[in-house]
Structure 1
């Protein structure tokens, strides 16, 4: 008799999975120009004020506001990067964008607001306010201020921010290592001639690309023969090399489904069969490494390609965020109006839909074939819609969805 007689709800299963996973502890220093997709390993405190001194926000004239009622001669010219002299009394200074404000000046008049008399003295047009067009020291960031927090997923914006602080390299978490293996003797690699009864292996390229988009290091264990010995050997190899072992296929109850019994033999299977569609025969557990080392996490996805994609989006993405030391991640759920009827039973269903804007908000259309083997539905769709169990959805009703090409958002 199975030790997993019931289907575990998706939210409960994901909560259990995340509770079993600990963030990685290893860190490394990375140049600020190579931070895309990396996770910050510690808080960043500003080592200086940004900007480090008062400077001009535009081309114009630095003045004392109290002296601007009369024409003023130009006493100096200040360009960006030049150290100015104190502003002479009853004068103004020609100043360029980014130029340091000379001591004694308290405003910058933009060049469009001045006129010149016959002696090239400057006449200010309009009312001048103290602080006008001056970017103050520390206006952006102040010395000692926390500007980024540990666990932040870094992108080009953060690279620019860190560079503005003068940081050449910063500590980040080591990349998560994922060992990827596929089972199924019926699978042929793209480029090979199909033999009778074979299909091409789409799961391996799909997941290799998907994992690369998540910024993880992929250890490709290739295609594993449908035997208990080969499956056990691949899982053990993955455990020694990776933080997480990811398999496709072999987790159901067929005579040639060897992954689940192999995990139970080598380690511990903690979850099996989720109340989700597609993707019910998901397996989660642990596989021991060499003595004294922490166990590797195992996630087994079904063999059907849409089940693989949905399982990666719903389960694997939050697991990788947890391993990488990021805050819990969740999709940015939106609400649209379904233009179709749908009925769910015991399982929560993830439908491939196309979300398009309309006068009433987002309009959701479902792909006509929601079979888990129809991979073209994933490229047709731009979103996944979630229909809870025991739901009778009618056209026009609200339905939660998220866009496939958006990253999950940190909830910290």
Structure 2
């Protein structure tokens, strides 16, 4: 550890390496109808069985011609029509043209399409006003978008709403995907109360499960909500045993600090083993990672911002690897100039909530205000994290910092 590292706390980079080096992707695959495959990770490359487009077609509504037939101010008779799905058939006499629509098949012998805006139509035929016509003008050639045999999507890609219609253009009805990781999660603590019930003295509403569940879904995993578990060792142990029987990963919220009623660590040591406990990160120091007998374990802090942050920064890449999502990338760091000061003490990597804007083509960022790990309003207002290095101290106005724009999982 360096001089600025908090004693006893594992650096974030070391924790990430520790986690990811142990995770092996799920090997179970499914064959799903394309319409049901969104959000799944491909277990094999998608190879195109056809050319796209499968034939030369028109990029415009207009007239198919042979350039050799063009002459100044000549009027051509129309020999027929070519519509999408209804190509021109029959003899095409020299010196004539074919009416053609966008997407329609190019007639044999055609070497250009003149858009209808560059024509004058009369009873005698079509006069072309375009002075220069180049070969293949307004023609989309066979395979212009995708060649037969091309790798359209590689194994390890997570299917999005943009990928599904692309695969459909290939005529592929089913895809082979990796089974989604199952993630069981629950909150711990006698102070937690379900929504819709009145609060007694010293109680708060359980908000963390409402942040964890959509993140699990957005990460491409299957959530299993086990509710609120009281601070009772027997009940907590039974819940862990139930959770690992149902899931690949067990995620808890709360119960990983050093309070007298935090039993999670003792139970984890009894049922499995602890990989690490306590990180040099703020917020989120009391984050735990380990292995139960049949499932991985991630223990999130109980404070709402800490829970969401550690899910986003630490659990997200772990679940991506488990799901075989090899195309996953961490959010990119972008330099930005501060419009406000940021309080910081050396010792931990600090993820502060910020609001970025672009001024004169450059990123600027300001704080959302209260950076307490229990103040979720600042998380709701933010559109980025301001990532301050472990050794860094207070940041003044006008300094350069690195920001990470929220990716789609936080929207």
Counterpart for residue 128 of structure 1? 133
Counterpart for residue 90 of structure 1? 95
Are residues 394 and 21 of structure 1, via their aligned partners in 2, closer, same or farther at CA, if it must alter by over 3 Å? same
SS at match of 2:310: helix
SS at match of 1:99: coil
Q: CA RMSD of the aligned region, Å?
A: 1.7
Q: Give, in whole Å, the separation in 2 of the partners of 1:404 and 1:156.
A: 19
The answer (yes or no) to whether the contact 1:74–1:122 under 8 Å persists in 2 is no
Q: Give, in whole Å, the separation in 2 of the partners of 1:60 and 1:385.
A: 54
Are residues 185 and 116 of structure 1, via their aligned partners in 2, closer, same or farther at CA, if it must alter by over 3 Å? closer
Counterpart for residue 85 of structure 2? 81
Count of residues in Structure 1 that have an aligned counterpart in Structure 2: 398
Which structure 1 residue ranges, 5 or more long, are not aligned?
Answer: 290-295
Q: Give, in whole Å, the separation in 2 of the partners of 1:11 and 1:220.
A: 30
Q: Give, in whole Å, the separation in 1 of the partners of 2:254 and 2:57.
A: 62
Q: TM-score, normalised by structure 1?
A: 0.92
When structure 1 is superposed on structure 2, of 144-153 and 227-236 the one drifting more is 227-236
Cα deviation for residue 267 of structure 1 reads: 0.5
Counterpart for residue 4 of structure 2? none
1:249 aligns with 2:249: no
Are residues 240 and 113 of structure 1, via their aligned partners in 2, closer, same or farther at CA, if it must alter by over 3 Å? same
Q: Give, in whole Å, the separation in 1 of the partners of 2:266 and 2:316.
A: 25
The answer (yes or no) to whether the contact 2:75–2:125 under 8 Å persists in 1 is no
Of the three residues 157, 164, 168, the one matched with 1:163 is 168
Counterpart for residue 364 of structure 2? 363
Q: Give, in whole Å, the separation in 2 of the partners of 1:54 and 1:380.
A: 51
Which structure 2 residue ranges, 5 or more long, are not aligned?
Answer: 1-6
Are residues 267 and 127 of structure 1, via their aligned partners in 2, closer, same or farther at CA, if it must alter by over 3 Å? same
The answer (yes or no) to whether the contact 1:39–1:173 under 8 Å persists in 2 is yes
SS at match of 1:250: coil
Counterpart for residue 316 of structure 2? 317
1:381 aligns with 2:382: yes
1:187 aligns with 2:192: yes
The answer (yes or no) to whether the contact 1:344–1:388 under 8 Å persists in 2 is no
Counterpart for residue 333 of structure 2? 333
Residues 299-332 of structure 1: per-residue CA shift (max 9 Å, x gap):
0011111110111111011111111111253012
Q: Give, in whole Å, the separation in 2 of the partners of 1:197 and 1:170.
A: 52
Residues 246-303 of structure 1: per-residue CA shift (max 9 Å, x gap):
00111122221111111111111011110001111111011113xxxxxx11000111
Q: Give, in whole Å, the separation in 2 of the partners of 1:158 and 1:216.
A: 18
Of the three residues 168, 178, 191, the one matched with 1:173 is 178
